[in-house]
Every structure is written in C-alpha cells, then in structure tokens.
Structure 1
Amino acid sequence: MDFNFTPEHREFLAEVEEFLDAYEDQTAFDPTRENGAQLVDTPERRTLMGELAKKGWLGITWPEEWGGQDKDGIYEYLLNEALAQRGGPQIGKGVGIIGKTLLRHGSEKLQKEFLPQIRDAEIEFAVGYSEPEAGSDAASMRLRAVRDGDGWRLNGEKTWTTSAHFAEWYWLGARTDFDAPKHNGITLFLVPMDHQGITVQAIGTIGHERTNSVFLDNVWVSDDYVVGEVNSGFQYICEALDLERFTMFTLSPILARMELLIDYVRTNERNGRPLSEDTGVRREIARLLTHAEMARMLGLRFVDASSRPGPAPTVLASEYKLYSTEFSKELANASMDIGGSGAQLVVGTEDAPMAGRSESTYRYTVIDTIGGGASEIQKNIIARRGLGLPKTF
C-alpha cells in the first residue's frame, strides 16, 4: 500500500484543521483529559458534533443514499485523529460501530430510524457487551433474553458500560439460546436507556474515568429492535469490535505525549548535565520514536485494508490495538522514569514535568490495554486467525 496521503486527503485535513482552529467554543476540547476524552458527554461536545454533521463529515464513508459521501476510510481516520489531537470527542460509537453495523445488517426500519439521527449527531449510544462473568470474552455473556409475545424480555447485568449515564440508547448483546454453542446463541438489541427497567450504577476506575454497571429488570424489547438475525449477534459484535479497536484508540494523543517527553528532555538537566546528552535517555527516546512510527504504520495499514472490498480486517485491527495501547503504556512508563520524582505530580500542579501528564497517563494507559478487548485477547486473535495456530486449553 501507499502510505502517502493524496492531495485530496491533505486538502480535507487542512479544511478540518482550519475549522477546528476557528471553532468558537474551545471548551469542547481538553488535551489534558485522559479519562474518556473521546466521549460526547457534555453539551459543548454535542454542539461540536452537530457542527461537524452540518459540514457533512459524520458518516463521510457511508453510502450517498444514507447521507454519506462514499469516501474511503482515510477521511474518517484523518477527522478522528484531528479531533483526538485536541482532546475532542470522536466519531467512534455512533458513526463507526452502530452506524456501520446497521448499514450491513440492520432492518429497513432500524436504518430509517437511527441512521439519520447518527449522521446528524442527534443521538448517543452506550455499548453493552461485558458482564461480571464475561469481560473480554463476549461470547460468554449470560444476560437472558426470553421470547415474550412479539418481543423479548431481558434480565441480567452488564458492566464496564462507559457511556450509560448520558446515552439515549443501549446497544447490547443478550443470550437468546442457552442450548446453542456460546458463539451461536447471542442476539443484538437496541434498547432506550430511559426504560423503567434499566438502572445505571457508577463505577470509578484507576484512570478517574466513570464507567457503569447496568441492571436490566424485565426489560421488554420489540422484535423491531432486534439487530439482524436472532442468534447471529456474536458475528455482528466481532465486526463492531474491529471498528472499536481502531476508532476508539487514536494515535494522536499518544504522539502528543511523545512530543511532551522530547521537549522535556531537550530543555531540562539532571545533576548539572542536559538530559539530551545522557546516552541512556537518548537510546530510550530513539526506541520510543521507532515504536511510534510502527504504530502509525499499523494504523494506516488497517485503514487501507478496511477501505477495500471484503470482510473486516480483524487481525489488522487487533495488531493495531495491541501495539498502540502497549506502546502508550511503554511511553507512560518512560515518562515517569525520565521525569523523576516530579513526574508523580498531577495535572495542574505548578512546575510539574510535562504539564503533569505523566502521572495521569501512567494510570489511564492501563485501561486502554483492557477496553475493546484486553491485550491477551488481541494476541489470541492474531495467533489463531492470523498465524493459524491451534487453540490451547
């Protein structure tokens, strides 16, 4: 593949950057925010997404019949990275995960109801796959969906649902056939979050991010809100996870932290000697820069493959997610080491090295290696689907 952007790609990126530079309400961006910077969780961020929608940039890769422009995935990549670099909300869940799954598998009713709202930034979603006994192994979910008239009765618990406290709709998997093999008895549903049978309970995390447990008590869902075919939900979830692993783990914020570290090394001394002259520090910076470029190439390779006809590039998505999030953790560790004791100071502390980012990213990068499928899961996908290795027990 060609890793260079075309003139059209560069023109689009310049247009996006110009729009973001001129955007009036800069409170929609927070480049120091580690905990869920990508979320559309404030009125200011929703307003920004609405303005992006007016520009025709949400759903830019969708078919024209649904308000898209049939552009290749590079445009979506460029838009998402530009937003991420500034600590802005990103397009991941609605446009990428839910929208693209509905385009492939949704009924005409679901497409007509949800796709225009997603394209116009009028709606936000929570995604419910994980459960107390089914974390990264989504196929082990046990939340029950039992046939009840012309719909389904849902009972059970989901956990680690990050957007549940502000989303309007819940995109969740439930087990509809307990006798089938675990990968074959799951169905996807769309459920309104204001349903009286839904209770949301906050969970704090090491990264100071709010996620949630969600309890469903006799929640009835019409057949109209079943996504695709009954008992085929795990297939759709796998496709959606490929999109999540890419769109929810952007590289721009990691590269920004890399620049903070380089600037710190360039301008500071230790024991009266510039850090930039320390051979150990120079070796570490060179190693991290090499890994940063490798992460960038893996991301572009996924974008290129996803723009071509054929099945979703599952292995490439796992390779990018695994490498980029583990690299982010390596960078956080190196920043703490090179920054010394001052690197433990939190964001906002006066004179904290690297603006206090080391401490917050050190905590938060652990979460990134778990969300969207833990690193161990990504290794299993690469081993079995990419390398053809046998499953071990």
Structure 2
Amino acid sequence: MDFEFYQQERDFVKEVDQFIRDNYDEEVMDVTRENMAQICDTPKRRAFMKKVAEKGWLGLTWPKEYGGSDIDGVYEYLLNEKLSSVGAPQIGKGVGIIGKTLIRHGTEKLKQEFLPQILDAEIEFAVGYSEPNAGSDAAAMRLKAERKDHGWVLNGQKMFTTSAHFADWYWVGARTDPQAAKHSGITLFLVKMDDPGLSIHAMPTMGKERTNMVFFDDVFVHDDYRVGELNRGFQYISEALDLERFTMFTFSPIKARVNLLVDYVKTTKVNDRPLKDDPVIRQRISQLVTDCEVARLLGLKFVSAAMAGGKPPTNEASCYKLFATELSQRVANATMDIASPGSQLALGTQTAPLGGRAESTYTYTVIDTIGGGSSEVQKNIIARRKLGLPKNF
C-alpha cells in the first residue's frame, strides 16, 4: 500500500483547513472535550454540521443513487482527522453506522425516510447496544421485543447511551427470539426518542460528560422500522462496530496530546534541571512518538483495506482500535507522571501544568478502551479472526 496522499487528496485537506478557519467558533471547536468533542449535542454544533453537509461532505463514500459522492474512503478519513484535530463535531453515527447499514440492509422506505435527513444533517441518532449485563458483549443483550399486531413491543433497559438526551432517533438492538443461540435472535429497530414509553436518566461520567440509562416500558415499534432481516441484528451490529472502532477514535487528538507533552518537556525545568535532559523522560517520550507513528499507519491500513474490500475490515478495525486507544491512555498516564503533582489540577486552573490538560485527558480517556468494544473483546477478535486461534484457549 502507498502511505503518501495524492495531490487531489492534499487539495481536499487544504479545503477542509480553510473551511475550519472560516467557521472557527470556540464553542463548537473544543479540544479539551477529547473524544466527546465529536458529538453534535448543542444547537451551535448541529448548525456547524449543517455547514459540513452543505459542502457535500456527508456521505462521501455513499453510492450516488442515495445522494452520496461515491468516492474513496480516504476522504472521510481525512475529513474526520481534520475536524477532530480542532475538537469539532465529526461525521460518525449517522453517516457511518446507521447510513451505511441502511444502504446495505434497509428497506426502500427506511432509505427514503432517513438517508436524505442524514445527508442534510437534519437528524441525530443514539445507539443502543450496551445493557447492565451486556456491555462490550453485544450478543448478550436481553432487551425484549415481543410480536404484537404489525410491530413489536420493547421492554427492558439500555446503558451508556451517550446521545439519548439530545438524539432524534434510537438505533437499538433487541432480542426477538429468546430461544435462539446467543449470537442469533437479535433484531435492529429504529425508535423515536420522544416515544412516551422511553425514560432517559442521566449518568454523569468522571470525564464531566453525560451518558444515559434508557428504560423501555411497552415501547411499540411498527415493523416498518425494523432494520434488515429478523434475527440477524447481531451480524449488522458487528459490521457497524467495525466502522465505530475506527471512526470514533481518531488519531489526530492523540498526536496533538503527545505534541503538547513534548512542548512541555522542552520548556520545563525541575530543580533547575531541564526535563528534556532526563534520560528516563526522553526514553518515554521517544516511545510515545514511535507508537504514534504505528497508530497512524494502522489507521491508513484500515482505510486501504476498506477501499479494497468494499466493507469495513474486521481485523484492521480491531488492530487499530486496540492499539490507538491503549496508546491514548499511555499518553495520559505519561502526562500525569511527567507533570508530577500539579497534573492533578483541574482544567483551566491558572497554575496547572499544560493548562490542566493532564487531568482532563486522564479522566476522559478511561472510556477509550471500553467504547466500541473493550480491549479484551478486540484481542479476542484478533486472536480468532486474524490468528486463527480457537475460541477456548
């Protein structure tokens, strides 16, 4: 594979850079929100995404028959990396998880209803896989869906639904056949978030962001809003998770945090001795910089494999997600260690090293190795699908 970008791709990056400069707003672009900066959870952030849509940058890889541009996935990669580098909202759930799944498996009714709204940035989605006893193990979900008339009645609970308090629609998995094997009997549905049977309860996180518990009490979903074939939801979720593992954990913020740490080490002294002269710190910094290059190339490997195969490559997605998110935590840990006791001061504290980014990065990156499937899940996927190891070993 070629790790260099073509001139047309470099021109696209320049265009995105200019767009960011022309639309800069510190309320919209906030790098201190770390990975949570990607969501459109305020009117201003939604308005920003509308401007992205007006540029024709949503659905870049979608087929033209559905309003997309039908161009290589590298453009989505470059766009997301640029947006994440300034803490701006990114293309994600709607374009990737929901849109691409509907294109592959949705009915014409669902395509006609949702795809244009996604392309115009008129709609936001919440994704409901995790449950109290089914976190990273989506196949263990137990939210019950029972047949009734021309639809389904859903009862149960979801956990860690980050966007539930502002989303318009809920992309949710439910068990439609409790007698089926664990990885079977699950079906995907689209549920209106203002359904009276939904109850949303805030779950504050240590990263000062909000996720949610969502309770279903006799929520009726018409069969028109069932996605794909009955009892094949887990297969669709697996496809979508490969996208999530890549698009939701961009590389640029990790690299930016390493650069911030490098600048701190270059300019800081402890006991009149420059930190940059400490051999232990120099070794640790060099390892992080090297790991950053590995993460960048793993990301490009995913993009290349996706372009060649036509659908998200599982092995490459898990390799990137595992390495990049654990690197993100190593960067956070190193920043806390090197900045010493002052690293515990909160973001914005005037005397805090690195402006308090050490503390905020440390608390935010806790979720990185959990969201989209924990590191343990990624290791199992790599072991079975890449290395050919048996399930029980």
Provide the TM-score with structure 2 as the length reference: 0.98
- Structure 2 contact 383–389 (Cα < 8 Å) conserved: yes
**Residues 103-252 of structure 1 aligned to structure 2 (within 5 Å):** 103-252=103-252
**Which residue does 1:312 correspond to in 2?**
312
> Which residue number in structure 1 is paired with residue 37 of structure 2?
37
Report the Cα distance in structure 1 between the residues aligned to 2:73 and 2:352, rounded to whole angstroms: 39
| CA distance in structure 2 between the aligned counterparts of 1:376 and 1:95, rounded to whole angstroms | 27
Unaligned residue ranges in structure 1 (runs of 5+): none
Aligned residues of 1:52 and 1:58 also touching (Cα < 8 A): yes
Q: How many pairs does the alignment contain?
A: 393
Q: Distance in 2 between matches of 1:198 and 1:178?
A: 22
Contact 1:35 1:209 in 2 (8 A): no
The question of 1:276 aligning with 2:276 is answered: yes
- Where 1:110 maps in the other structure, the secondary structure is helix
TM superposition shift of 1:42: 0.5
Q: Secondary structure, in 3 states, of the residue corresponding to 1:282?
A: helix
Instruction: Please identify, of 189-198 and 345-354, the stretch whose mean Cα deviation from structure 2 is larger.
Output: 345-354
- Aligned equivalent of 2:353: 353
Counterpart amino acid of residue 202 in structure 1: A
Q: Which residue does the alignment assign to 2:254?
A: 254
Number of the residue aligned with 2:379 = 379
Aligned partner of residue 368 in structure 1, secondary structure: coil
How far apart, CA to CA, are the structure 1 residues paired with 2:57 and 2:381? 32
Alignment of 1:7-26 (within 5 A): 7-23=7-23, 25-26=25-26
Residues 60, 76 of structure 1: 8 Å contact kept: yes
* Secondary structure class of the residue paired with 1:139: helix
**How far apart are residue 54 of structure 1 and its match?**
0.4
**8 Å Cα contact 1:62-1:70 kept in structure 2:** yes
SS of corresponding position for 1:79? helix
SS at match of 2:215: strand
- CA–CA distance in structure 1, aligned partners of residues 322 and 207 of structure 2: 19
The amino acid of 2:242's aligned partner reads D
Distance apart, 1:25 and its partner CA = 3.5
**Which stretch shifts more, 23-32 or 379-388?**
23-32
**In 2, Cα distance between equivalents of 1:147 and 1:245:** 33
- Asked if structure 1 preserves the Cα contact closer than 8 Å seen for 2:34 and 2:253, the reply is no
**1:143 to partner: Cα distance:** 0.5
Partner SS state of residue 36, structure 1: helix
Change (3 A) 1:93 1:306: same
Deviations 1:326-365 (A, max 9, x none): 0010011101111111111111011311121111111111
Output the CA distance in 2 between the equivalents of 1:27 and 1:58: 22
Tell me how far 1:312 sits from its aligned partner. Answer: 2.7
Distance in 2, Cα, partners of 1:50 & 1:246 = 23
Note the C-alpha offset of 1:265.
0.5
Give CA deviations for 1:202-235 in whole Å, capped at 9, x if unaligned.
1112222210000011011111000000000000
Kept after mapping to 2: 8 A contact 1:34/1:207: no
1:309 Cα deviation (Å)? 2.9
Task: Give 1:126 deviation, angstroms.
Answer: 0.2
Contact 2:202 2:212 in 1 (8 A): yes
Partner Cα separation in structure 2 for residue 67 and residue 28 of structure 1: 27
- Kindly provide the amino acid, as one letter, of the partner of residue 194 in structure 1: D
| Secondary structure class of the residue paired with 2:243 | helix
Identity %, equivalent residues = 64
Q: Whole-Å Cα distance in 2 between the matches of residues 88 and 312 of structure 1?
A: 24
The 1-side partners of 2:48 and 2:340 are apart by 38
Aligned equivalents of 1:38, 1:15: Cα separation in 2: 20
Aligned-residue offset at 1:34: 2.9
SS of corresponding position for 1:27:
coil
Q: Is the 8 A contact 2:187 2:234 kept in 1?
A: yes
1:67 Cα shift?
1.4
Structure 2 CA distance for partners of 1:29 and 1:311, relative to 1, 3 Å: closer
Matched residues in 1 for 2:138 and 2:186: separation?
Answer: 10
Q: Deviations over 1:95-132 (max 9, x none)?
A: 01100101111110000000000000000000000000
Deviation, structure 1 residue 40: 0.5
- Are 1:5 and 2:5 matched, yes or no? yes
Distance (whole Å) between structure 1 residues aligned to residue 37 and residue 312 of structure 2: 26
Q: Deviations over 1:16-37 (max 9, x none)?
A: 0001011154421111123611
Within-5 A mapping of 1:79-94: 79-94=79-94
Q: Which residue of 2 aligns with 1:78?
A: 78
RMSD across aligned positions (CA): 1.0
SS of the aligned residue for 1:265 comes to helix
Corresponding letter in the other structure for 1:154: L
Structure 2 CA distance for aligned equivalents of residues 171 and 149 of structure 1 = 22
Distance 1:4 1:35, change over 3 A: closer
2:184 alignment partner AA: N
Q: Report whether the alignment pairs 1:27 with 2:45.
A: no
Who is 1:328 aligned against?
328
In structure 2, the CA distance between the partners of 1:357 and 1:25, relative to structure 1 (3 Å rule), is closer
Letter of the aligned partner of 2:271 in structure 1? N
TM-score, reference length from structure 1: 0.98
CA contact (8 A) 1:25 1:44 kept: no
